[in-house]
Amino acid sequence: MNSKFNKYSARAKELRSLLNQANHSYYVLNFPEIEDSIYDQLYRELIELEKANPSLITYDSPSQRVGGIPSKGFKSINHNIPLLSLDNAFNIDELKTWYLKIKKLIDSGKKNIKENKNPELICELKIDGNAISLRYENGILTKGATRGDGNTGEDITTNIRTIPTIPLRLLLNDPPPWIEIRGEAFMPNEIFNKLNIERKKNGQPLFANPRNSCAGTLRQLDSKIVASRKLDFFAYSLYLPHDWEPKDYNFKKPISQSEALEFLKNIGFKVNNTSEKKKDLNETNNFYKYWEIKKNSLEYATDGIVVKIDNFEIQKILGSTNKAPRWAIAVKYPAEKKATKLKKLIFQVGRTGAVTPVAEFESIELAGTTVNRATLHNAKRLALLDLHYGDTIVVRKAGEIIPEVTEVMKEFRVIDSSLVQLPSHCPECNSQLVQEPNEAITKCINTECPAKIKGLLLHWVSKGSMNIEGLGEKIINQLVNVGYVKSIADLYKLELSSLLNLERFGEKSANNLLREINESKKKNWHKQLYGLGMPHVGEANAKSLSKNFKSIEELITTSKEAPQNISNIYGFGREITDGIIKWLDNSNNQNLIKELKSIGFSLKENLKSKSNNSNILNGKSFVLTGTLNSLTRDEAKEMIENAGGSVSSSISKKTNFLVSGEKAGSKLKKAQELGVKIINENELKLLL
């Protein structure tokens, strides 16, 4: 028995090593070593071994990146080494003052240091995220914590493990007893934008900027939600035992910040590659100005640069104050903001009934784009601003992305102007608005509110759902306004004569639209599921649900009898599960499901549409570029996914095939450079 267990133990160790190395290559080095399908096989093998032998589970196992049970709360944790903040400079003159001051401090240290007259500097971008502390013991990640007050933070180790760019085991053969790593967790701009689009569709309040979104994510009690939001991490400093020296000749104990960054990279961390050593303030100033212009092209938010003395010995001489090191300073970029005149305030009603105040103002240029409107989120924000009609307001782009009203210039306020207040009744249907307990959102709860119906219909006909060509916002507005359509099901009861009564409809266009509407009944199960508009169920979550539950009946039964089977889906948690259960339990939604089934929707997986070769492209990754002759991009994507493949929007060495059509763009060139196999539309059909 011992011999058999030892065999399992050795295999588990080998699998952990292979999978951790694959994760590092993929997420940190951006150079995949193995195919997705092989990774999945190895991962499944490890999971099965650990299920059968729980004693094989270790802290560095890839299976531990997502916890199974939501936390009840976070414990306080003392930082072994204080996590200090940085002093700020707001222009180059203040940076110069700091530099002259530390040169005097170095001189007063009475140490014979070679470069004490003009110490070298290292410049790094100041990532607009959340500082976290990591502790590794004997090379294994044991603790992850928030900054807190610098001395005490919150233990968020379970959530930290979900960030793929944080190694669970260091790439060191002879690790010291402990290493403390400091760095910045952040949410990439692309992920932030997608998250806000999803929240808007679900009628949730939008996150103000990537930093706040990241902070909120790190404090989620359910680590599966954290994992689904795809946070990233840059390491920027480390602390090692004084008496430790690496035995591996490939490693050298760092004696400067620049060497520390290289060391961090070599032991498995992702390090921001924009850092540069500088000889003097002139070079530092050039770095600051360069990134002030270029920062908007980055994939993450930055609000300045950090300037540090590079040499650790000089850092030690300079020491720290109670709150910040003397040897480093953050030089912040001024947030671009402009004054403009409020023209009017409108109140938008979303498909969930949430009422959002939106300020419309005279157009201004901010961060390279023209801006003329900004959401004020909710009644609380409106009250804090004390906004009056005709006010002069100050607008900036929060996190360089979302327009935000930051203040009101009351000195320019018109005498006797009226205070802007959230309406007591819905601006669309005049129903009494309600504010849900423990929520900042004010809602219209009238199920027949035209704005809610329009929002639901727009979601149903959208690209990710039914993708009904020719049925846009203007036509939906007409259909609802004249009373032809009061629900999703009513779309499928439309007659030719009704459409001909609308503006810009002839017999041909009306028949085309009716055909498109009827054809949409054949859409895949996950698209039907997404179109229903359940809270938190975007396209990705709809696909996950459709894979786990083959019909709406199965999902309804599970929601009543075994809701844990929903929350156990990867990326799901209590909040998502509760939203789905509440939606399914609503009588209006139950009636909608009945109506859709009565008019021909299956609301289940269509087994007939699956061919015998449905998994022929299993594990293969595709990218589409250019115009295809007989297929739309969505049709091609659907065919590939039905055959087990996946479709990505960006190309890398991980891509198996680039499907190239007419007027192919830069992706074709990149595929040629990376050696990715390029096929045309006919060759794709042959593969299928």
Catalytic residue numbers read: 126
Run of H or E including 456: helix 450-460
The C-alpha atoms of residue 545 and residue 526 are separated, in whole angstroms, by: 8
In this structure, are residues 535 and 580 in contact, taking their beta carbons and an 8 Å threshold?
yes
Q: Which two tokens stand for residue 135?
A: 């502790």
What are the distances in angstroms from CA 35 to CA 66, 74, 230, 334, 644?
A: 22, 37, 21, 45, 15
Please list the residues that pair with 160 across neighbouring strands: none
In this structure, are residues 442 and 355 in contact, taking their beta carbons and an 8 Å threshold?
yes
DSSP string, 151-210: SEEEB-HHHHTT-TTS-SB-S-SS--SEEEEEEEEE--HHHHHHHHHHHHHTTPPPPSSH
Residues listed for the chain:
688
In this structure, are residues 451 and 354 in contact, taking their beta carbons and an 8 Å threshold?
no
DSSP string, 127-146: ESSEEEEEEEETTEEEEEEE
The C-alpha atoms of residue 662 and residue 111 are separated, in whole angstroms, by: 69
Q: Determine if residue 351 is left, alpha or beta; phi over 0 gives left, psi from -120 to 50 gives alpha, anything else beta.
A: alpha
The C-alpha atoms of residue 497 and residue 388 are separated, in whole angstroms, by: 48
Helical H segments across 482-533, by residue range: 488-491, 496-500, 507-519, 525-531
The C-alpha atoms of residue 305 and residue 328 are separated, in whole angstroms, by: 11
3-state secondary structure 295-361: HHHCCCCEEEEEEEECEHHHHHHHCECCCCECCEEEEECCCCEEEEEEEEEEEEECCCCEEEEEEEE
Helix, coil or strand: residue 95: helix
Q: What angle do CA 230, 192, 217 make, to 5 degrees?
A: 55
The C-alpha atoms of residue 545 and residue 137 are separated, in whole angstroms, by: 39
- For CA atoms 246, 252, 257, 263, the dihedral sign is negative
Distance of CA 284 to the CA centre of its chain: 32
In this structure, are residues 32 and 653 in contact, taking their beta carbons and an 8 Å threshold?
yes
Please list the residues that pair with 434 across neighbouring strands: 443
What angle in degrees, to the nearest 10, is found between the helix axes of 552-561 and 574-584? 110
- In this structure, what is the dihedral angle of CA atoms 331, 336, 339, 343, given to the nearest 10 degrees? -150
- Enumerate residues 6+ apart whose C-beta is below 8 A from 68: 568
The C-alpha atoms of residue 83 and residue 182 are separated, in whole angstroms, by: 8
